[in-house]
Amino acid sequence: MGGVPCDTGATATKKNFAPRIGLAYRLGAKTVIRTGFGITVDPDNMRNQRNAFPAIVNQDYSPANTYQFVTYPGVSQVSLRNGVPAPQFPDIPVGVFKPSTTPSLTTYLPSTGTASFPQYMNRGYIESWNFFVQREVSSTLSVEAGYVGTHAIHTMLGVNINGSAPGTGNAGRQLCPYLTTDLNFYEPFGWVKYHGLQTRLRKRIGWSTLGISYTFAKALNTADNGDSALFRAYPMATELNEGLAGFDRTHTFQFFHYYQLPFGHGKKWLNHGFIAQIVGGFQIGGTISRYSGLPFTVNSSTPVNAGGQTQTSDQINSQVAMLGGHDANHPYFDGSAFANVPTNIPARLGTTGRNILRGPGYFNWNQNISRTFAFRKESIKLQFLGEAFNLTNTPSFANPSATVNAPSLNSDGSIRSYNGYSVITSTYSSARQLQVGAKLTF
């Protein structure tokens, strides 16, 4: 944990070379080809070390149960009145920081948690490239299609260097007995890959625009969040960290529109007199979105007794039926395709990896309507706006609970309750929301 910060002159990588190149070529009067490639240096900072020991020393004292006060050697009750125990600070000058080994403290301060980095850290980088063809079908209609790729190399991840093998518990941790908690070593370790076909059609109608966009894509990574800890810290199981990204959506469709109603002054119809003042100045706009569902992991409730490991289920059926239920009494997927890891054998990790199934899709329609009033030859404008979010009040269901659990049965053998397993019990979209506003421009 010693050494100089990894981004100072002596230890910073000399490979922060981030070129970018782009090319656009006009192929005839109505077709354009665009392509590009670029490298971005991983911008991750040192925030994970900011709140870690020894920069910050945090000591927690908990009672034996909620009905008792916290006690401490020599103090019958820990309180502000009796005085909070003096904190145990590390000896900074020696350059080596160890958890407390004072016998009277070990019951209350059994271990110290922290985070660390490599002294010499070569930052990762992100490669991005694309190739698009755009075609003008007519003066008001254009289409484009292209391929987009991204490869993040050596992304920052929390690699737990104090994990243990299944069944060994804290005693099997590499730094035991000095440290019996996780120790994340933040280093350039992971990767992300994205490949997508992106298309768009746009139609202009006077001052109005209608369009459709569709993306077919796949994203893979070693961890769902940029600098999160690995799913499996045990070195023999690191391949199970690789899988679908938690944000992966196979299909993404959007219809967008902005339309000025053809009434009022300067428009095609009802453009004179008092009636033009009443019906003119209206615009409508919005987006309709439809996405594939997000991936999820099927976990096991069998303890793995391994530091830094996430236990998953065993898959016992090669095919998993997606049943599509959307309430607590109808499963979303066939839970019988998975089982808890047996306890009558040597402890091991489940056979499944992360993000192996996909949850329900997402639908949303946002719509707005506005009316603009112009004054003093349009130098002053007043706009009233009404907006509806989730106009159709359609629920977007969250992923199902996916920790293997046996259902409760009735006396006749029928299922009384799924006990939360394989069923959906929540949503991640809000109900319909309406709001109004006004804007004055001059």
C-alpha closest to that of 166 among 298, 353, 349, 308: 349
CB 361 within 8 A of CB 292: yes
What is the length of the chain? 442
Residue 162 · residue 181 · CB < 8 Å: yes
Q: What angle do CA 82, 86, 89 make, to 5 degrees?
A: 165
pLDDT above 70 covers a percentage of the chain that reads 83
pLDDT averaged over every residue in the chain: 83
> pLDDT of 241-283, one tens digit each?
889 999 999 999 999 999 887 777 767 776 676 776 777 778 8
By C-alpha distance, which of 23, 19, 254 is closest to 131? 23
Higher per-residue confidence, 223 vs 358: 358
Angle at 174 between CA 169 and CA 178, to 5 degrees: 90
**What is the average pLDDT across 161-166?**
86
- Confidence bin at 11 (pLDDT 50/70/90): very low
pLDDT at 220 over 70: yes
Tens-place pLDDT, residues 41-92: 888 777 777 777 777 777 777 777 778 777 666 666 666 676 666 777 766 6
Sequence-ordered list of residues with C-beta below 8 angstroms from that of 240, at least 6 positions apart, any chain: 231, 232, 312, 349, 353, 354
Question: Looking at the predicted structure, is the pLDDT value of residue 391 above 90?
Answer: yes
Tokens (6 digits) for 152: 């993040």
- What single-letter DSSP state applies at residue 393? -
Alpha-carbon torsion 305, 306, 307, 309, what sign? negative
* Confidence band for 136, pLDDT divided at 50, 70 and 90: very high
- What's the pLDDT tens digit per position in 301-320? 988 888 888 889 999 999 99
Judged by DSSP in three states, 410 sits in coil
Structure tokens at 355: 């993000």
Has residue 108 got a pLDDT over 60? no
Least confident of 55-69, 87-101, 121-135, 373-387: 87-101
Structure token digits, residue 224: 């769902």
- How confident is the model at residue 216, as a pLDDT? 98
**Burial classification of residue 102, based on how many CB atoms lie within 10 Å of its CB (0-12 exposed, 13-18 middle, 19 or more buried):** exposed
pLDDT of 106 higher than 60: no
Q: Is the pLDDT of residue 5 over 60?
A: no
- Write down the pLDDT at residue 184: 83
Q: Is residue 177 predicted with pLDDT exceeding 50?
A: yes
Per-residue pLDDT, 170: 87
Other C-beta atoms lying within 10 Å of the C-beta of residue 18? 11
Q: What is the mean pLDDT of residues 166-171?
A: 89
Q: How confident is the model at residue 13 (pLDDT cuts 50, 70, 90)?
A: low
Tokens, residue 166: 């299944």
Other C-beta atoms within 10 Å of 260: how many?
20
Higher pLDDT, 98 or 207: 207
Tokens of residue 292, six digits = 């594939």
pLDDT score of 38 more than 90: yes
The whole-number pLDDT of residue 237 equals: 63
Q: What is the pLDDT of residue 30?
A: 94
